[in-house]
Amino acid sequence: MRRPSMQRGQRAGFTIVELLVSMSLVSVMAGLAMMIQSTGNNALKSSTQQTEAESRARRGLDRVARELQRAVVMNMFTNFTPLAPDSPSLTYLSAAGLVNGVLVPGSITSIAWESDPRDPDNGVDDDGDGLVDEGVVALWKNVGEGDQVRVVICTDVTEFFAGELNNGADDNGNGLMDEAGLHFVQDGNLITMRLSVEDVASDGTRVSRTAETSIRMRN
Ligand SMILES: [Ca+2]
Ligand SMILES: [Ca+2]
Ligand SMILES: [Ca+2]
Ligand SMILES: [Ca+2]
């Protein structure tokens, strides 16, 4: 039995509508998939940068600790003066060695937070890396001598420690006021070092990580 021609036309129109709806659904699903993938990629990049920042903070502080540990092991601290409560540097006179059981004075070594010359301290991100007035951890050996050397052992160190603002108050509640991104705290012969580094994720958010370690010095 033949169907009326109008029914065939209605069926054909409905098929076109179905096609359009299907195409719209496919577009929406593709958009959603791209959005999910993009979100996943951003999360992955952010996570990677957090891990990288954490690793950099740890490596930097491990290097500082190794320098001090060598001095401790070799009993090189011969002129260690008490630190300021939140000192951004540590300077000590090392001994060159022992001669007939007597310590021979050696060279001056210094470990310090220093402003990154590419981004001077002016409240502006001069080098355009997303971080403002960042610094480095510099290791100075043979200070004041002809063979004085400066080695940068960590970059993108924050000007102030994580959670701290330059406002005369202890914002992060660690007992120190406006402490630097690298600082040393002395308690008797125990030196605690803290380091704070930053990175900028692909979406522009800042990733901050800190590391802390302590060394007990023998005199
Ligand atoms: Ca910068
Ligand atoms: Ca600057
Ligand atoms: Ca503080
Ligand atoms: Ca503060």
Q: How far is the CA of 183 from the centre of ligand 4 (A)?
A: 14
Task: Report the distance separating Cα 74 and Cα 141, nearest Å.
Answer: 16
Q: Which ligand is nearest to the CA of 127?
A: 1
Residues 170/160, Cβ–Cβ less than 8 Å:
no
* Mean of per-residue pLDDT scores for the chain: 82
What's the pLDDT band for 78 if we cut at 50, 70, 90? very low
Ligand 3 centroid to Cα of residue 84, in Å, is: 14
Helix (H) and strand (E) counts for the chain?
Answer: 1, 7
DSSP string of 129-145?
A: SS-SS-EEEEEEESTTS
pLDDT digits (tens, 9 = 90+) for 184-207: 988 877 889 999 999 888 778 888
Compare 148 and 80 and report the one with higher pLDDT.
Answer: 148
Contact by Cβ (8 Å): 64, 111? yes
| pLDDT tens-digit readout, 81-139 | 566 767 888 887 776 777 787 666 678 888 999 999 999 999 999 999 999 999 999 99
pLDDT for residue 77 is more than 60:
no
Distance separating alpha carbons of residues 210 and 218, to the nearest angstrom: 27
**Rounded Cα–Cα distance for residues 54 and 199 (Å):** 10
